[in-house]
Amino acid sequence: MSVRIIGTGSALPVRCVGNGELEALVDTSDEWIRERTGICSRYVSTGETVASLAAAACAHALEDAGKESGEVELLLIATCTPEDALPCVACQVQERIGAVNAVAFDLNAACAGFLFALHTAWAYIEAGIYRNALVAGAEVLSKIIDWTDRGTCILFGDGAGAVYLEKCETGGQNGILGFAQHSDGRRGPVLSCVGRQSGNPYFRQEPLYPYVRMDGREVFAFAVRQVPEAIREAVGKAGIGVEDVDLFVLHQANRRILEGIAKRLSVDMERFPMNLDRVGNTSSAAIPLLLDELRHNGRIVPGMTLVLSGFGAGLTYGACVLRW
């Protein structure tokens, strides 16, 4: 028995914003952004919501898998930018796609969210509780970004990606072979965004700064140090070596971070596919967005061994080894 991804899907807002357009908003340049991050453009919501993007990505993943929405048993949405506190995005998506038989809930582990949601779905299926799951990462980060802060507004983009996975009675070693997950709550202030202003008449709060705050250098150093360790841990649990991995599908934060990780693992950058140049950092949507792209352009083929790895606010990070 194995738990395998048999469908992928994605969705992006219609509006693409190039680096040049940001020069009109903050003191930056296309050259600076490309050199320091590798990002050339990103998609920004002009009305798309986390629920609408997630629903579109989920519908595509279901179609790709050849499944009906009524068959879905578990619907998990990883997001840190829900429109509403209640109900959760997963229930909104359930309603939009008609997944009437699914249990639906959200999971927030920031940029590692999709990875943690995938592991959660996998554990449920392995335990025999559900037979299948639809798992998406979806974000509209543009609403929690300070568009006057050049240190952050150049990095992020909006979008969603989804996968459909199910229990397969195939022989051989397929599906998820090993994983690692870690959280370090002591380092939360390195990358944070406060919640909404309280209206509690019994507790007067100072006005909040409701946007992302980030110590870019700290995040950079954390990712380059911890992610290779998590990858080695997951690969070790799978009983293989880093040299046996065909593709490293990593969270798309910054090209230089990926280069630093590849160097520490002594792996050629050709095995680190990227789309961050076109979509920026889409947080929990990044891994499934890239997976969908790689699947449909033929870079991922059956039998390949992949490592997925995410890292972000929390701090949270992890890795997953799977045979496609």
In angstroms, rounded to a whole number, what is the distance separating the alpha carbons of residues 71 and 78?
Answer: 20
Q: How many residues does the chain have?
A: 324
Cβ neighbours around 272 below 10 Å, total: 18
Which of helix, strand or coil describes residue 110?
helix
Give me the least distance between CB of 198 and ligand COA, in Å please.
27
Give me the least distance between CB of 86 and ligand COA, in Å please.
26
Give me the least distance between CB of 251 and ligand COA, in Å please.
6
Comparing CB distances to ligand COA, the nearer of 124 and 311 is 311
> Which residues sit at the interface with ligand COA, rule CB under 6 A?
28, 32-33, 36-37, 111, 150-151, 154-155, 214, 216-217, 219-220, 253-254, 281, 312
Residue 31, C-beta contacts closer than 8 angstroms, at least 6 positions apart: none
Nearest CA to 251 out of 233, 268, 218, 226 is that of 226
- Largest Cα–Cα separation, the chain: 61
Give me the least distance between CB of 180 and ligand COA, in Å please.
17
Comparing CB distances to ligand COA, the nearer of 30 and 126 is 30
Comparing CB distances to ligand COA, the nearer of 2 and 281 is 281
* Residue of 88, 254, 281, 320 marked active site: 281
Comparing CB distances to ligand COA, the nearer of 72 and 253 is 253
* Residue of 88, 251, 254, 320 marked active site: 251
**Among this protein's residues, is 153 annotated catalytic?**
no
Which residue's C-beta sits nearest to ligand COA?
216
Q: Are strands 74-78 and 132-139 parallel, antiparallel or unpaired?
A: parallel
Question: 183: exposed, middle or buried (C-beta count within 10 Å: 0-12, 13-18, 19+)?
Answer: middle
* Residue of 111, 153, 193, 320 marked active site: 111
CA-to-CA separations, 83 to 79, 140, 247, in angstroms, rounded: 10, 9, 34
Comparing CB distances to ligand COA, the nearer of 148 and 170 is 148
315 cis-preceded (ω within 30 degrees of 0): yes
Q: How big is the chain by its Cα radius of gyration, in Å?
A: 19
Give me the least distance between CB of 209 and ligand COA, in Å please.
18
Comparing CB distances to ligand COA, the nearer of 7 and 288 is 288
CA-to-CA separations, 270 to 245, 282, 318, in angstroms, rounded: 12, 22, 21
In angstroms, rounded to a whole number, what is the distance separating the alpha carbons of residues 34 and 18?
Answer: 11
Comparing CB distances to ligand COA, the nearer of 223 and 238 is 223
Q: What does the DSSP assignment read for 5-54?
A: EEEEEEE--S-EEEHHHHTTTSS--HHHHHHHH---EEE--SS--HHHHH
Give me the least distance between CB of 164 and ligand COA, in Å please.
26
**Among this protein's residues, is 281 annotated catalytic?**
yes
Give me the least distance between CB of 155 and ligand COA, in Å please.
6
In angstroms, rounded to a whole number, what is the distance separating the alpha carbons of residues 255 and 260?
Answer: 9
Residues annotated catalytic, as ranges: 111, 251, 281
